[in-house]
A and B are shown apart, each in its own frame.
Chain A
Amino acid sequence: MMEATYIKRKKDGRIHLKSGNRGDRVIGWTVISLAVLTVVAFLFFNYAGLELGSALKETAYNLKVMFLEPTLNHFSLEEALYQVGITLSLAFLATIIGAIVAFFLSLLAATNLAPVWVSRIVRIFVAIIRAVPTVLWVLIFAIAAGLGSEAAVLGMLFHSIAYLVKAFSEAFEEVDNGIFEALRSTGANWWHIVRSGVLPSTFTYLLSWVFLRFEINFGVAVAMGAAAGAGGIGFELFMASGFYFDLREVGFITYAILIIALLLEVISTRLKKRYFPTTSD
């Protein structure tokens, strides 16, 4: 049979189904490695002082108290709103300043706007910044610049910049080359091209990225309040759970955070649907 030449058989004569390409193999190895590492991890764990049964039971009880009987004991509702405001403000400041810095940096990171070596340097710089966890940035700034909102905002700024530079520069790189040519042929200089060619066609897109980052920064700001003493609702959460052991208050604060986060998510999903039709239906 002439078709026989196209059939791939195993040693035992059974017919192969897969083509055995590299992508499939790599996926297979990745999944297997992750599985093995996970099993090893469970053997490695430090189980000091853990009694799983009672811990689970206690957690279930705690969750019930938290979510079904939320109240405020150590401060008033007004105070709680004020603290939420602080967290939102920290997130907002880090996002806005981050967006401005990221805008200029991303002009240097976009391969169609800057020389290759410049864009490579910016990218490496951004990758290193990203590798340091935000909480470490905040803590480092807290000692370097003195504790205060400045340390929190500056620390959060780094990841915001890294995130937005990546998003912005990719947006710039997608700008139609024809626009550049047209503007260049009129004798426009680099700054002119950015202002009247790149910016108008990407502005709304950039704006929705900024908002997505704001959503992330809210969570980060909560975390910084709890872990780095940056104030706001995160700090109150830390106090309620680690200092007063007040489950009902923890529940209340968690609800407050959840509501804000959900609101932000709803808005950002709308933005995504509107401006990134490809990533969501």
Chain B
Amino acid sequence: MSLLKVEGLGKSYTADKQILKNINFDIKQGEFISIIGPSGAGKSTMLRCINRMVDFQEGKITFNHQDVGSLNKKELRNLRTNIGMVFQHYNLVPRLTVLENVLHGRFGYKTTLQGILGRYTEAEKEHAFYLLEKMGIHEHAYKRCNQLSGGQQQRVGICRALIQEPQLILCDEPIASLDPNSSKIIMDHLKSISTEMGITCLVNLHQVDVAQQYSDRIIGLNNGEVVFNGKGHELSEEKIHKIYGTQTKQLIIA
């Protein structure tokens, strides 16, 4: 049974330039999927269409039997609560503590007033500590986020997504700003989220080898179109060339 179904998705910001063209794919519960492609291929936009951080004009996205495009405000909020998001630049509130940033993930379950007053139950706080420990950063719980390294901040970002108890996590270039060591830690965590917790992961990536190593399936995007959709080992030199076009050479050298 598919958790997420994208049919004929199209999006353009300006009349003359189409960012996404007729995108179709289908994702099952618990899958780990990477989306690869050159910068400007529309990866970020596509990810943001799924939780409607960006509104799209054409096509249909179905998440959990819900038509994403037709949701009203309240239903949209509910949808976003069910979808976690992890960002390239972590997007934490730098001046707040790690713990507070993690608990921000609970806002979808709260009334506006509870959120403003910062009323979290003890169970939620315990859960936050549990997740932080799982990520190995519980000792930093009371530090301000801007005192943490990039890799640590990204783990806070993942905790914030996990505490939403989502069915799907969207990761927008989660390791693009990290060194190889931290990158591996983050990718390992994401992988175990999908295998151990059964949460579906949709990850935008730059590095083909990382995608091949971790994903159940890879979707290749070029110039707003899906040009590849298959297993990692099916991704031949020729297909990579199709995704990255002329950039392939630079990519391999780099």
A/B touching: CB–CB < 8 A:
yes
Give A residues with C-beta under 8 Å from B: 3, 6-8, 13-19, 21
In the complex, the answer to whether B129 meets A6 with C-beta atoms within 8 Å is: yes
In the complex, the answer to whether B144 meets A17 with C-beta atoms within 8 Å is: no
In the complex, the answer to whether B142 meets A19 with C-beta atoms within 8 Å is: yes
Tell me, in angstroms, the Cα distance from A56 to B225 when the chains sit together: 62
Given contacts A16-B142, A17-B118, A19-B143, contact A3 B133 (CB under 8 A): yes
Tell me, in angstroms, the Cα distance from A13 to B103 when the chains sit together: 18
Stretch touching chain A among B57-65, B120-128, B240-248 = B120-128
Q: How far is the CB of A75 from chain B (nearest CB, A)?
A: 52
B196 at the interface (CB under 8 A from A): no
Would you list which residues of chain B between 108 and 134 have a CB under 8 Å from chain A? 118, 120, 122, 125-126, 129-130, 132-133
Given contacts A3-B133, A18-B97, contact A8 B142 (CB under 8 A): yes
Q: How far is the CB of A6 from chain B (nearest CB, A)?
A: 5
User: Considering the complex of A and B, which 6 residue pairs feature the smallest CB-CB distances, nearest first?
Assistant: A19-B142, A15-B125, A3-B133, A6-B138, A3-B138, A19-B97
Residue in chain B with minimal CB distance to A27: B95
B172 at the interface (CB under 8 A from A): no
Q: How far is the CB of B145 from chain A (nearest CB, A)?
A: 11
Which residues of chain A come closer than 8 Å to B139, judged between CB atoms?
Answer: 6
B85 at the interface (CB under 8 A from A): no
In the complex, the answer to whether A17 meets B99 with C-beta atoms within 8 Å is: yes
B185 at the interface (CB under 8 A from A): no
B100 at the interface (CB under 8 A from A): yes
Given contacts A3-B138, A6-B138, A6-B139, contact A19 B144 (CB under 8 A): yes
Tell me, in angstroms, the Cα distance from A3 to B139 when the chains sit together: 8
Given contacts A6-B139, A15-B129, A18-B100, 6 further A-B contacts (CB under 8 A): A3-B129, A3-B130, A3-B138, A8-B142, A17-B118, A17-B125
Tell me, in angstroms, the Cα distance from A14 to B130 when the chains sit together: 16
Tell me, in angstroms, the Cα distance from A18 to B118 when the chains sit together: 11
User: What are 23 A-B pairs at a CB distance below 8 A?
Assistant: A3-B130, A3-B132, A6-B138, A6-B141, A7-B129, A7-B141, A8-B142, A13-B122, A14-B122, A15-B122, A15-B126, A15-B129, A16-B142, A17-B97, A17-B100, A17-B118, A17-B120, A18-B97, A18-B100, A19-B97, A19-B142, A19-B143, A19-B144
Which residues of chain B come closer than 8 Å to A16, judged between CB atoms?
Answer: 142
Tell me, in angstroms, the Cα distance from A6 to B122 when the chains sit together: 15
Among A8, A13, A16, A17, chain B packs the most CB atoms within 10 A around the CB of A17
Among B118, B142, B143, chain A packs the most CB atoms within 10 A around the CB of B142
Tell me, in angstroms, the Cα distance from A6 to B138 when the chains sit together: 7
Residue in chain B with minimal CB distance to A19: B142
Residue in chain A with minimal CB distance to B128: A15
Which residues of chain B come closer than 8 Å to A14, judged between CB atoms?
Answer: 122
Which residues of chain B come closer than 8 Å to A17, judged between CB atoms?
Answer: 97, 99-100, 103, 118, 120, 125
Residue in chain A with minimal CB distance to B139: A6
Q: Please, what's the 1-or-0 string for B213-225, where 1 marks a CB less than 8 Å from any CB in chain A?
A: 0000000000000
Which residues of chain B come closer than 8 Å to A3, judged between CB atoms?
Answer: 129-130, 132-133, 138
Which residues of chain A come closer than 8 Å to B103, judged between CB atoms?
Answer: 17
Tell me, in angstroms, the Cα distance from A47 to B118 when the chains sit together: 40
Q: How far is the CB of B192 from chain A (nearest CB, A)?
A: 18
Tell me, in angstroms, the Cα distance from A13 to B121 when the chains sit together: 12
Among A8, A14, A19, chain B packs the most CB atoms within 10 A around the CB of A19
Tell me, in angstroms, the Cα distance from A16 to B100 when the chains sit together: 10
Tell me, in angstroms, the Cα distance from A7 to B138 when the chains sit together: 9
Residue in chain B with minimal CB distance to A24: B95
Q: How far is the CB of B135 from chain A (nearest CB, A)?
A: 12
Residue in chain B with minimal CB distance to A3: B133
Which residues of chain A come closer than 8 Å to B100, judged between CB atoms?
Answer: 17-18
Residue in chain A with minimal CB distance to B100: A17
Which residues of chain A come closer than 8 Å to B144, judged between CB atoms?
Answer: 19, 21
Q: How far is the CB of B198 from chain A (nearest CB, A)?
A: 24
Tell me, in angstroms, the Cα distance from A8 to B103 when the chains sit together: 16
Q: How far is the CB of A27 from chain B (nearest CB, A)?
A: 10
Which residues of chain A come closer than 8 Å to B126, judged between CB atoms?
Answer: 15
Which residues of chain A come closer than 8 Å to B120, judged between CB atoms?
Answer: 17
Tell me, in angstroms, the Cα distance from A21 to B100 when the chains sit together: 14
Which residues of chain B come closer than 8 Å to A8, judged between CB atoms?
Answer: 142
Residue in chain A with minimal CB distance to B126: A15
Residue in chain B with minimal CB distance to A21: B144
Would you list which residues of chain B between 86 and 103 have a CB under 8 Å from chain A? 97, 99-100, 103
